[in-house]
Amino acid sequence: MTGAIQPDLAMAASLFDALGRATRQGRGIVRDSYGEGEQAAHDIVRAAAAGMALEITLDAIGNLFMTLPGKDRSAPRIIVGSHLDSVPQGGNYDGAAGVVAGLCALSGLRRAGVVPDYDLSVMAIRAEESAWFDVAYLGSGGAFGLLDPGCLAIARSDNGVSLEATLRERGFDPQPIRARRRLLDPGGLRAYLELHIEQGPTLVARGLPAAVVSGIRGCKRFRNARCVGEYAHSGAVSRPHRHDAVAATVALLHHMETVWLQHEERGEDLVLTTGELFTDPGMHGPSKVAGETRFVLDIRALSAATMESVAAEARAAAARIADAYRVRFDLGATSDSPPAVLDERLRARLMSLLDHPFQMASGAGHDAAVFAKVGVPSAMIFVRNEHGSHNPDEGMALEDFAVGARALLALLLDFPL
Amino acid sequence: MTGAIQPDLAMAASLFDALGRATRQGRGIVRDSYGEGEQAAHDIVRAAAAGMALEITLDAIGNLFMTLPGKDRSAPRIIVGSHLDSVPQGGNYDGAAGVVAGLCALSGLRRAGVVPDYDLSVMAIRAEESAWFDVAYLGSGGAFGLLDPGCLAIARSDNGVSLEATLRERGFDPQPIRARRRLLDPGGLRAYLELHIEQGPTLVARGLPAAVVSGIRGCKRFRNARCVGEYAHSGAVSRPHRHDAVAATVALLHHMETVWLQHEERGEDLVLTTGELFTDPGMHGPSKVAGETRFVLDIRALSAATMESVAAEARAAAARIADAYRVRFDLGATSDSPPAVLDERLRARLMSLLDHPFQMASGAGHDAAVFAKVGVPSAMIFVRNEHGSHNPDEGMALEDFAVGARALLALLLDFPL
C-alpha cells in the first residue's frame, strides 16, 4: 500500500450533508438511539457502503458492519467505528464523524483498487449516548456481552417505551443482551480505531486541526457529598462558635483546587468539578449560618492511581476541615468508572502521522473505551470542533476532518505496525 | 440612693413562671405580635405592675408603660424596656427578660421606699419580632413615628390578617402609624436601658454571666448575588478553558474569609456569612461544569465604615476573580441597616458595675437600636443563655439574670451619671 491513497472527502462532505438534512429537527440534530433518527443515519451510511460494494452485515442488536474484504478473510480484522446516534438537539458530528471517516477511508482504498491483507470494517455502532435510555454504550457494550440485562427494562426518556420493546420494534433481538452473549469476539480484532470531534475547546484554543487521544479519563465521583454543621443566627454567632457548613465546604473545595493546580504543575492529568452545590432551600436563610450543604465532587484522570490519591486527599482534607470548622463531612461512597488505556504503539504511530503532533486526554467517554476494556488495541483521533458537543452548534470544518481522516487512512495502510 | 437596694428576684422568678405557663404551646413559647400570646404576656406584667402600684399607661399602638413616678414629673425620664412578643415556638426569655428586669428593679426601689428624682418607666414594647408581620420593631418604631405606613397592609404570616385589622381588633389605633406621628418624644427621655438574653454562645463559652453590649451591628447584605459562567462537560473541558461558576464563587468566598480573619486579627468587629448558596437545580448536573451560582453575602459590623470597606472589597475581589475564572459576578445592590451606637458613658458605667467586666457586640437587632437611632442615650446588658434564642430551648439561669438585673438597678441608682 502506498501513501498516495487519499480519503474520499467528497463522499464525506455529501454524507455529512445528507445526515444533517435527514435528522435535523428545528435547530438541532435528533438521532434518537434505536429510534427513527438513528435509523435514518444508518440507512444513509448503508446506502453509501452499498454504493462502493462493501460487504454489509448487521448484528442481532443492530450494529452495522460495512466491510472491505481482505485477502485472508479469517485473519483478525480492523474495525474503524463510532456511533450514529445523537443527544436530543445535538450536533451533526458527534459520533457520525467517526463512521464517515471510516467510510471515506475505505472508499479511498476501493478507488485505488487496494485489497487489504485482512478485512477492514466500518462499524456504525448503536446507541452510544445515554440521553435516551440512561445507559451509555448500549451498542458496543452489547456487542461484547457486557450489558446488565436489567437495562432492557429501562424506559426511553421521552416516550417511556422500554429498551426491549424498542429493540423488537426495530426487528432486533434482545436475547443476547439478556444472556450477556458476545456478538463480537475481541480475539478476532486486530485493532479498533475511532475518529471523534473533540468535545472541549482545547484544539480550538491551540489552533490545531487534530490530536491523538492519550487515553479516556476514568471518573471517581462523590455523587452525594454532604457537610453538616448547625444553623445559627448570622449576626449573633461569632466565627469561633460557628458550625458553618458553607464556610467548611468552601474551604474543602478551595483546597481541592490547589490539589488540582499541583497536579497541573507536575503535568499529571486530572480534572476536578463541583457541578452541584447547594444549601437546603427549606432551611437556609439570608441571615442564617448554613447548617448543611450538599455537593458533588467529580474526579477524572487518565490514571486510576491519581483518582485514588485525589479521592483519599479529599477525604483527609474533609476530616481536617471538619475539625477546624466544627462540622461533619459525609462524602459518601464514590461511583467509579475506570480510565481506558489506549494502545501505546498505535498512539505513537498516529503522532508520527500528524504535521503538528499533539496528544490530549479525552474527558468524555467513547465506544473506544469499551473496545479497550475487552483488550482490543484501540486508538482515537480528535478533530477540532467549535462550541463543544451535544448542542446544535457543533462546528467541525471539513479541512480539519480531512487531517484526521488522512491520519486514520495512513494508519490503516501502515498495518501491521 | 444606696447600693443596698436589690432587684426583686422572687418577683422575677414568678413572672417568668407565669409567662411560660400562659404562653407555652407544645414545647415552645408562642407570644404572637399583637396576638393572644403577646396580650397574655402584657396582662401578666400589667397585673404585676398594678400590684406594686406603678402608674400604668398605654400608647395608641399598645406599648405599655409602667411608671414609678419621680419627684419632678416633667423632667426627662428613664425607660427600661424590651419586647414581650416571641417568634413562633420561641423561648421564654427573648424579650421578656428585659421587661421583667425593669419590673423587678422598680419593685426593689418601691420596697426600699425610694422616690426617684424623675420618672422611671418600664416599657413593654409591642411586636419586635419580624416573624409575624415581616417587619421588626413595630412597637418601638411606631412609638417614634418611624414606620413606613405601608406596613399596615402587611398580612400576618399565619392567618393573613393585615396589621391594620389586627391593631383595630385589639382596640389600638393605626392612625399614628399612617401619619408617621410620634407617640414618644426622644427629648423627654434621659436614657433607654435594655436587658436581653445573649442570642449566641459567647457568654456560655467564656463562662461569664453577663456582658455589656458594645453596639448593635449593622448589616449590609448582598441578598441576590450571582455568578454566571458557562455550563460544560466536566470531563472534556480543561481548567484553562472553563467558565466555572462554582470554582469562582468558592474563590470569592474563600477570599472573603481571609478578609474576615484579617479584621479579627486587627480586633475590628465583623461577621461574614453566606447562608444561601446554590447551583441551578434545573440546569446543574454531576458531570457538568456549573454555569451559574446564586448566593447571599451578609456583612455585619459595628462600624458602618467597616461594612462599606468590606462590601467594596467584595466587589473588587469579584471583579478580579471574574477575570481569572472567565465568569461574570453580579453581586447586585445591598440591603442596608446601619449599626446602632450605644452610649459610651452608660457602657463604661455598666462595665464598672460587673464583677467580670466584658463587652461584646450584638449581632441581632434590638429595640435599643431604635432608641439609639432617635438620639436617646441607650445601653444594653446581655445575660448568658444556653442554646441560642428563637427556639424552645432558650436557657437562662436566674442567677445570671440576677447579675444583669443588679447592674441595671445599680445604674438606675447612679443616675445622673
The pLDDT value given to residue B1: 42
Taking the C-alpha atoms of residue B52 and residue B65, their distance in angstroms, rounded to an integer, is 14
A339 chain-B contacts, CB cut-off 8 A: none
Most B CBs within 10 Å: which of A241, A273, A295, A360, as the mutation test of the B interface?
A: A273
> Phi first, then psi: what are they for B86, rounded to 5°?
-135, 165
**Does this complex have an ipTM over 0.90?**
no
Most B CBs within 10 Å: which of A216, A234, A366, as the mutation test of the B interface?
A: A234
In this prediction, residue B294 has a pLDDT band, given cuts at 50, 70 and 90, of very high
| Biggest CA-to-CA distance, chain B | 84
B232:A200 CB<8 A: yes
Here the cell at position B42 is 402584657
The pLDDT value given to residue B322: 98
Asked if B173 and B143 count as a contact pair (C-beta separation under 8 A), the reply is no
Place of cell 435509523: A39
Give the chain B residue nearest A199 (alpha carbons): B236
- Nearest by CB to residue A246, choosing from B241, B277, B388, is B277
Q: What is the pLDDT of residues A70-88, one digit of tens each?
A: 999 999 999 999 999 999 9
H/E run at residue B291: none
Give the chain B residue nearest A272 (alpha carbons): B234
Taking the C-alpha atoms of residue B161 and residue B166, their distance in angstroms, rounded to an integer, is 6
Contacts of B226 (CB under 8 A, 6+ apart): B292, B293, B294, B295, B329, B330, B331, B332
Distance from CA of B13 to the nearest CA of A (A): 26
Q: SS3 for A253-282, per residue?
A: HHHHHHHHHHHHHCCCCCEEECCCEEECCC
A365 chain-B contacts, CB cut-off 8 A: 235
The pLDDT value given to residue A1: 42
Query: β-pairing, A120-125 with A77-83?
Result: parallel
Q: What angle do CA A333, A334, A338 make, to 5 degrees?
A: 150
Q: What is the pLDDT of residues B109-135, one digit of tens each?
A: 999 999 999 999 999 999 999 889 988
Q: What is the DSSP letter of A343?
A: P
Taking the C-alpha atoms of residue B301 and residue B339, their distance in angstroms, rounded to an integer, is 7
CB atoms within 10 A of CB B9: 18
H/E run at residue B99: helix B96-111
Place of cell 477511508: A105
Better-scored residue on pLDDT, A199 or A4:
A199
Half-sphere exposure of B407 (CA within 13 A, CB side): 33
In this prediction, residue B417 has a pLDDT band, given cuts at 50, 70 and 90, of low
H/E run at residue B194: strand B189-197
Taking the C-alpha atoms of residue A182 and residue A151, their distance in angstroms, rounded to an integer, is 16
- Nearest by CB to residue A296, choosing from B205, B217, B286, is B286
Q: SS3 for A4-36, per residue?
A: CCCCCHHHHHHHHHHHHHHHEECCEECCCCCCH
Here the cell at position B88 is 413562633
B99 touching A, CB under 8 A? no
Tell me the β-bridge partners of B193.
B80, B379
Asked if A144 and A184 count as a contact pair (C-beta separation under 8 A), the reply is yes
Q: CATH number of the domain at A218-337, please?
A: 3.30.70.360
Asked if B127 and B64 count as a contact pair (C-beta separation under 8 A), the reply is no
Q: What share of chain B is helix, strand, coil (3-state, %, to 5)?
A: 40, 25, 40
The rounded radius of gyration (Å) of the Cα atoms in chain B is 24
B400 touching A, CB under 8 A? no
Tell me the β-bridge partners of A362.
A216
Taking the C-alpha atoms of residue B88 and residue A103, their distance in angstroms, rounded to an integer, is 72
Here the cell at position A315 is 477525604
Here the cell at position B91 is 423561648
Asked if B225 and B311 count as a contact pair (C-beta separation under 8 A), the reply is no
Interface size between A and B, measured as CB pairs under 8 A: 188
B250 chain-A contacts, CB cut-off 8 A: 250, 253-254, 257, 274
Taking the C-alpha atoms of residue A229 and residue A288, their distance in angstroms, rounded to an integer, is 12
The pLDDT value given to residue A134: 83
Q: What is the pLDDT of residues B199-249, one digit of tens each?
A: 999 999 999 999 999 999 999 999 999 999 999 888 888 899 999 999 999
B233 chain-A contacts, CB cut-off 8 A: 199-200, 363-364, 388-390
- How many residues are there in chain A? 417
Give the chain B residue nearest A221 (alpha carbons): B286
Taking the C-alpha atoms of residue A264 and residue A269, their distance in angstroms, rounded to an integer, is 7
B9-217+340-413 matches B218-337 in fold: no
A237 chain-B contacts, CB cut-off 8 A: 200-201, 271, 363, 388
> Of A256, A259, A254, A248, which Cα lies nearest the Cα of A323?
A248
CB atoms within 10 A of CB B31: 30
Q: What is the pLDDT of residues A279-307, one digit of tens each?
A: 998 888 888 899 999 999 999 999 999 99
CB atoms within 10 A of CB B179: 10
Asked if A78 and A121 count as a contact pair (C-beta separation under 8 A), the reply is yes
Q: Report CA-CA distances (Å) from A324 to A244, A311, A329, B236, B261.
A: 11, 20, 12, 34, 14
Taking the C-alpha atoms of residue A45 and residue A16, their distance in angstroms, rounded to an integer, is 10
Tell me the β-bridge partners of B213.
B360
Asked if A7 and A104 count as a contact pair (C-beta separation under 8 A), the reply is yes
Q: What does the buried/exposed string (b/e) look like for A271-307 if buried means 16 or more CB atoms within 10 Å of the residue's CB?
A: bbbbbbbbbeeeebbbbbbbbbbbbbbbbbbbbeebb
Mean pLDDT of B63-70: 98
- Cut 0.90: pTM above it: no
> Phi first, then psi: what are they for B336, rounded to 5°?
-120, 135
Per-domain residue ranges of chain B: 9-217+340-413, 218-337
B265 touching A, CB under 8 A? no
Taking the C-alpha atoms of residue B343 and residue A276, their distance in angstroms, rounded to an integer, is 48
- Nearest by CB to residue B254, choosing from A232, A254, A276, is A254
Cis peptide upstream of residue B416 (ω within 30 degrees of 0): yes
Q: What is the pLDDT of residues A379-401, one digit of tens each?
A: 999 999 999 888 899 999 999 99
Taking the C-alpha atoms of residue B139 and residue B145, their distance in angstroms, rounded to an integer, is 10
**Chain B contacts in chain A segment 359-388 (CB below 8 A):** 362-365, 388
Asked if A8 and A122 count as a contact pair (C-beta separation under 8 A), the reply is no
Q: What is the pLDDT of residues B349-364, one digit of tens each?
A: 999 999 999 999 999 8
- The CATH architecture assigned to B9-217+340-413 reads 3-Layer(aba) Sandwich (3.40)
DSSP notation for B138-170: HHHHHHTT-S-GGGGGPBPTTT--BHHHHHHHT
Taking the C-alpha atoms of residue B244 and residue B241, their distance in angstroms, rounded to an integer, is 9
The pLDDT value given to residue A417: 61
The pLDDT value given to residue B2: 47
Asked if A296 and A223 count as a contact pair (C-beta separation under 8 A), the reply is yes
Most A CBs within 10 Å: which of B87, B197, B243, B250, as the mutation test of the A interface?
A: B250
